Amino acid sequence: MKLRSMLISTLLCATLAGCGYIAVTAAPQKKATTARTEAALKADALFWDTLHGAKYDQIPSALEAVTGAYLANPSDPVTAAHAGWLHIWRLAESARRDAVPATITDDAILARRYFDEAVRLHPGEARYLGFLAGTTLAEGNIHKDEKLTRKGYYQMLDAVDAWPEFNLFTAGYTMSRQPADSERYKQALEWQWETLDVCVGEKINRADPGYAKYMSLATTEGRKRVCWNSWIAPHNFEGFFLNMGDMLVKAGAWQAAQKIYANAKLSPTYAQWKFREVLEQRIRDAQTNVAVFKAADLAEDKTHQRIMVASTFACMGCHQN
Ligand code: HEC
């Protein structure tokens, strides 16, 4: 047996890229730990305070704590993922800044690296997989690296299979910056509809997508919890419909968008949601926003309304307390 594997190694050494390939493939896997260090728990607390408190300016100090905890224990998938989330938040809401530096794109690369680590340490966590796919797509787009983009796309399809209620949304949201009449954009919007279908367990009526009759399905447990509000995402429900309305407007379907936006108001905590003014303005401006959203989500001009993914509340629309 030993002789045989030595023989195979020698053969591979000679035929493939050489011994380097074998050495890399044979390197030991990192082992995950579920034990959390004191530093990791402290970093968690700062992480949640920063995210739920919408303290975008506090991202550097939260990252310092989370990265420090990660370096002290690089086998902890939760800490690795938190580092990824802080980086992607900083990039996602960069519209908050007066001037967006070119180096902001480094956050996509770092986020991708940390989610990659988190997925390897905890392959069964499909939310990590969705964010790994999203950040890989972002990185592919930054470098105009079509191979990487395709890799991200297929990772995303795997993530959708692993947890459709969560990752159909993630997939569509990530791709909502695509040009309005592209196939990818149509797919992205289709995924939002499918999110609703899997959340309610039937095909939702697209001509009349009123959600009132489904409100009794709300849960904070199991896979369907991600369809509703929770401690993690206190206004997920409202944010979901805000984004989906924006995506419909961008596709030109502004009347359907008005119905979808209105579903956000069914949330029992709608009155506490910081972005209800935004939503109500969106309902009023739905028709005029068609041209605005089609044209401008990549433009630097800050005077107009921007589709949610390109807005100052791309994450906070769901996660701010
Ligand atoms: C449409 C609403 C929505 C948007 C937008 C959104 N999220 Fe989430 N997020 C969720 C939901 C739902 C979950 C899963 C909650 C659960 O697992 O119960 C989640 C999970 C998370 C978690 C996991 C926390 C944990 O450890 O369990 C983090 C962190 C997070 N999101 C950060 C972000 C960041 C950063 C952005 C912006 C790039 C973002 N989210 C955009 C709804 C949203």
Q: Are residues 208 and 303 in the same domain?
A: yes
Q: Are residues 192 and 148 in the same domain?
A: no
Residue 287 domain flag: yes
226 alpha carbon to ligand 1 midpoint, in Å?
A: 9
Q: What dihedral angle (degrees, nearest 10) is formed by the CA atoms of 299, 303, 304, 308?
A: 70
Q: Are residues 316 and 193 in the same domain?
A: yes
Residue 8 domain flag: no
Domain that holds residue 150: 36-162
Q: Contact, 318 vs 169, CB < 8 A?
A: no
pLDDT-above-90 percentage for the chain? 87
Residue 176 domain flag: no
Q: How many domains are contained in the chain?
A: 2
pTM, rounded to two decimals: 0.94
What would the mean pLDDT of 194-199 be, rounded to a whole number? Answer: 98
pLDDT one-digit tens code per residue, 55-72: 999 999 999 999 999 999
Q: Are residues 190 and 109 in the same domain?
A: no
CATH of the domain at 130: 1.25.40.10
For residue 161 the two structure tokens come to 């299979």
Q: Are residues 110 and 189 in the same domain?
A: no
User: What's residue 302's pLDDT?
Assistant: 67
User: For a substitution probing ligand 1, which of 168, 242, 315, 316 has the most ligand atoms within 8 Å of its CB?
Assistant: 315
pLDDT one-digit tens code per residue, 100-155: 999 999 999 999 999 999 999 999 999 999 999 999 999 999 999 999 999 999 99
For residue 195 the two structure tokens come to 């999110």
Q: Are residues 149 and 229 in the same domain?
A: no
User: What's residue 21's pLDDT?
Assistant: 87
H helical segments located in 122-234: 126-143, 146-162, 164-174, 183-200
What would the mean pLDDT of 222-249 be, rounded to a whole number? Answer: 98
114 SS3 class: helix
Q: Are residues 138 and 190 in the same domain?
A: no
pLDDT one-digit tens code per residue, 257-297: 999 999 999 999 999 999 999 999 999 999 999 999 998 65
Q: Are residues 193 and 225 in the same domain?
A: yes
pLDDT at 304 over 80: no
Q: Rounded CA gap, 230 and 240, in Å? A: 13
Q: Are residues 126 and 41 in the same domain?
A: yes
Indicate which atom in ligand 1 lies nearest the CA of residue 315. 37
8, 92, 319 from 218: Cα distances, Å: 56, 28, 18
User: What's residue 19's pLDDT?
Assistant: 84
User: What's residue 37's pLDDT?
Assistant: 94
pLDDT at 299 over 70: no
User: What's residue 295's pLDDT?
Assistant: 87
Q: Are residues 80 and 43 in the same domain?
A: yes
212 alpha carbon to ligand 1 midpoint, in Å?
A: 24
Q: Rounded CA gap, 250 and 172, in Å? A: 13
Q: Are residues 131 and 251 in the same domain?
A: no
